[in-house]
Amino acid sequence: MERVITYGTFDLLHYGHINLLRRAKEQGDYLIVALSADEFNWNEKQKKTYFPFEKRKQLLEAIRYVDLVIPENNWEQKTTDVKEYHVDKLVMGDDWAGKFDFVEEETGAEVIYLPRTPEISTTQIKKDLNSKE
């Protein structure tokens, strides 16, 4: 069984997220999503989410492509997660291209950067909503 892992905040879940999860699942048999914890989003990414961790986790667990949701608490845990969950492939959006190549070097897991869905992003949704106020 090939295991795949991806990481993200997945706030204001939209069809771009679904596309990424579907294509990540196509890379293997079992998809793990490491969901950024609220504290990690705020302290490390300077992002405030609309939905708290538990609500975002519930949404992800309801998606048929997702087999397991775990918390992401720090940048460094990728290598640990790959080893702990016996992951074969790390999948990220191509906006992160090259940033996680070290995981392949340290663990042997293949790192794949998938193209984002170009016309949609949570950042753009938030900008559009704010401009309508």
Enclosing H/E stretch for 73: none
Rounded Cα distance, 107 and 89, in Å:
10
* Residue 45: active-site member: yes
List 45, 48, 55, 127, catalytic entry: 45
* Contact predicate 112/90, CB 8 Å: yes
Rounded Cα distance, 98 and 94, in Å:
9
Dihedral sign from CA coordinates of 122, 124, 130, 133: negative
Q: How far is CA 93 from CA 1, 52, 100, in A?
A: 23, 22, 11
List 25, 47, 78, 99, catalytic entry: 47
Residues classed as catalytic = 45, 47
